Amino acid sequence: MSLPVPYLASRTLTVVKPIDTSGARRVVNLGLNESWLGTPPGAIEAIRATAESVHRYSDPGCKAMRAAIGSTFSLDPARIVCGNGSEELLDAIGRVYARAGDEILFPAYSFLQFAIVAYRIGARAVEVPLAANFAVDVDAILAAVTPATRVVFLANPNNPTGVAVPMADVARLARELPSHIVLVLDAAYAEYVDPAEAMKNYEITDRHPNVVVTRTFSKAYGLAAARAGWAYAHPDMATALNNVRGIGNVNGMAQAAAAVAIAAQDFVREVRERTAEGREYLHGRLRSLGFELSPSVANFAFARLPGAPAGWAQETVARLARQGFVFRSNEDYGLPDWLRVTVADKADLDEMLDLLAVEVDAADTKLAVEG
């Protein structure tokens, strides 16, 4: 008997890693960069109200959702494409603009999804070296362009490092990149930076028809499970993306919630301010435990304990998960010594940090014994 053979080789790369929390009384997930601050007023009610008519198909054109996004940011709804999370849109961009054998460029230690997009279409994922402190090097990206380059992904701020790229550098990249190459500005964490800076992403798409911005409702808007994101691009690119996305890609409940949520910019401002306070607190406590930090501006810290024994970060993640605190180790990013911890409620952070302090002490003791 012969079985169908997939064209894609099997892979282990995944954005969401399984983790064993058995034995924990309660689980606090600090491993997915979700928001602990809930959803904008009216969003859950909109989901409930739409659920009443769940026997009806949702609007495949996401008209109300696009109109709401357009009016909030003064954007042209015809240039907005909605997605089943921004993840679907990143994937669609890859499928529309690159194929097997092409090159997809992104800075080293970028969001794992970029490599996954390349994998799915058989393109080559090319990682561009960074400058010091996880800073994106625009000149290095430009120097890495070859005749095979089709797409450049830039997450700003980036996950897992949390590092922002100054908008002047992004603008220069858009200016100097050959215009037949698609530049994707993945702004999933842009709500956590100055809104005026985030708006510059859209201005860049006005000047450069090869640039597309992707945004998400999964982070600051607190709608991760709804699966809603959007892209903003030149009308031709919007048409191309609409051609490949799923017809009913954004379900009616998600559309309704997103349309309400986007108008709640006061809520988003509060999320930004409280997340910044929480991040400063988390950074301070991690620093006093001896951790080195990336200069994250997003809703998570990215930290490494200098001198810790090999494997310590992964073992610590596994041990804390069994005590109910999940965060992310980053060996799959090629950064096995680094931990990513989402900002959360102070009481939860304190409880987690006390457990982490025990792990740090154990690492120090181990080093002292071995040294």
Ligand X SMILES: Cc1ncc(COP(=O)(O)O)c(C=O)c1O
Is the Cβ–Cβ distance between 162 and 298 less than 8 Å? yes
Residues 106-145, one symbol each (x = binds ligand X by CB under 6 A, - = not), give -----x----------------------------------
Closer Cβ to ligand X, 205 or 216, answer by number:
216
Residue 155 interacts with ligand X (CB under 6 A): yes or no:
yes
Residue 188 interacts with ligand X (CB under 6 A): yes or no:
yes
**Which amino acid, residue 143?**
A
- Residue of 35, 58, 159, 201 that binds ligand X (CB under 6 A): 159
> Of 320, 344, 319, 340, which Cα lies nearest the Cα of 329?
340
- Sequence-distant (6+) residues with CB within 8 A of 347 are none
Task: Give least dist CB 158 to ligand X, A.
Answer: 7
Task: Give least dist CB 10 to ligand X, A.
Answer: 23
Closer Cβ to ligand X, 221 or 325, answer by number:
221
Q: How many residues bind ligand X (CB under 6 A)?
A: 13
Secondary structure tally for the chain: helices H, strands E: 12, 13
Closer Cβ to ligand X, 231 or 360, answer by number:
231
Residues 286-305 binding ligand X (CB under 6 A) are none
CA 278 to the chain's CA centroid: 19
- Residue of 40, 85, 222, 278 that binds ligand X (CB under 6 A): 85
Residue 229 interacts with ligand X (CB under 6 A): yes or no:
yes
Which 3-state string (H, E, C) describes 149-174? EEEEEEECCCCCCCCCCCHHHHHHHH
Residues 27-66, one symbol each (x = binds ligand X by CB under 6 A, - = not), give ------x---------------------------------
Continuous H helices in the chain: 43-51, 63-73, 85-97, 113-121, 138-144, 167-176, 195-207, 235-244, 252-261, 265-288, 312-322, 346-370
Buried/exposed code over 328-345 (b: 16+ C-beta within 10 A; e: otherwise): bbbebbebebbbbbbbbe
Closer Cβ to ligand X, 19 or 289, answer by number:
19
Task: Give least dist CB 33 to ligand X, A.
Answer: 6
Residues of this chain that bind ligand X (CB under 6 A) = 33, 85-87, 111, 155, 159, 186, 188, 216, 218, 224, 229
